[in-house]
Structure 1
Amino acid sequence: MTDSVAARSLAALSRRVSPVALAVVTVVVLAELALLAGYLGFTGAEPTSVRYLLYPFVWVNLAAWAVFTVVPPDASRRVRGAVLAVTAGYLLVLAYVGGVLDVTHLGHGHSHGGPRGLELFTSLPPGWGPTVVYDHAAFTLTLVPYQVVGYLALTYLVYVALLDFAAAALSGALGLLACASCSWPVFASLLAVVLGGAVPTTVYSFAVDLSTAAFVAAVVLLVWRTGGA
């Protein structure tokens, strides 16, 4: 019985995946592997763990799939504006919790002695680099490519989910906490950061694994929530 259900599920999935989509996915994956092989060959780097080289591609590919899968519902300009304001706050929370935005020296001047300004790190593996660091007296921005793509995709999915919820309930600006499937990624990321700081010898060493698992679960949940899959 279980085998027949699984077979039917696979058959249904194969019908939904067009040959063109499958070809695009294959080309993208092969191109990413070639890019990674080129980086390793050119730099001579010897990674300690292959999964850390692959995680950025998981983020970018899943983000692209989600954005092209989910379509925003129709809504009034007022509702769109309110939801856009909420999702802008959500993006700031993600940036802060995820380490993209650092405001620890806000109000205390420049906390470290290096010069302020823009720095570009190009020697990092694909997805991890090129990383852009902008150091300001009030804040520091650390833009890691895969994180930027992932957080923007999550923000878009939250925007669509809130639009869908607002269109159904017509409750105006509901706030982030009104939608459990929208707030979960923030709290999952926050939990990973908190645990990483509390138990550095165990959890911190798996911080990227935890954040990737949280990102995958959040994207799948939000896509399912908006009816995209």
Structure 2
Amino acid sequence: MVARPLIGISTYAESGVRWGVWQLDAALLPAGYPRLVQRAGGLAAMLPPDSPELAAETVARLDGLVIAGGPDVEPVHYGAEPEPRTGPPARARDAWELALIRAALDRGIPLLGVCRGMQLLNVALGGTLVQHIDGHAETPGVFGRHPVKPVPGTRYASIVPEETEVPTYHHQSVDRLGTNLLPSAHAEDGTVEAVELPSGPWVLGVQWHPEMGEDLRVVQSLVAAATAA
């Protein structure tokens, strides 16, 4: 029997979270992320923010990595000033997750970026972001849905060859692509909805939230790549 691969998932770090009689600082993650990894055949491990110097040691113990969604990336990381609708920075998360991404790329382990995670992947490779777009987060706190069309010949298209509707909630997007990244899916308005490295290890970013849907194919492909590696 083949051992299930260990997939690390980055987490939020929030202050004053309440459960039961407690209100404490917490490292937390929407349950959809670990459930998705588990349903796809992997073992899920939560990775709360830590010292960036420990990212390589952390990644060395993983078979695959997911960078989860969350707050806006601080624009300083791509040489820009914050615009009025850009959210407050999550500096500890930015530093930790950028270090995780770079360590995963250096080590060649399979890497999936989800929403913010896709944007961080782009920034880690020298790309930039559009700080606000309309139409992809219509109602605060409610995931929308829209169609995404794969780019023929890409890794994403080999995983999901048809146009699909995806759960979405974001107000920023990829602008200039990072080094060697290719767009592998688009929304109807032209927004880049997936990016990937065309060669080398399994590296994919999706702008939507697969943990909020029923389609397991992207994460099953990640788990398969992690198992093979």
Name the TM-score, length of structure 2 as normaliser. Answer: 0.25
Q: Which has the higher strand share?
A: 2
- Structure whose CA Rg is larger: 1
Q: Which has the higher helix share?
A: 1
Q: Which structure is higher in RCO with an 8 Å CA cutoff and minimum separation 6?
A: 1
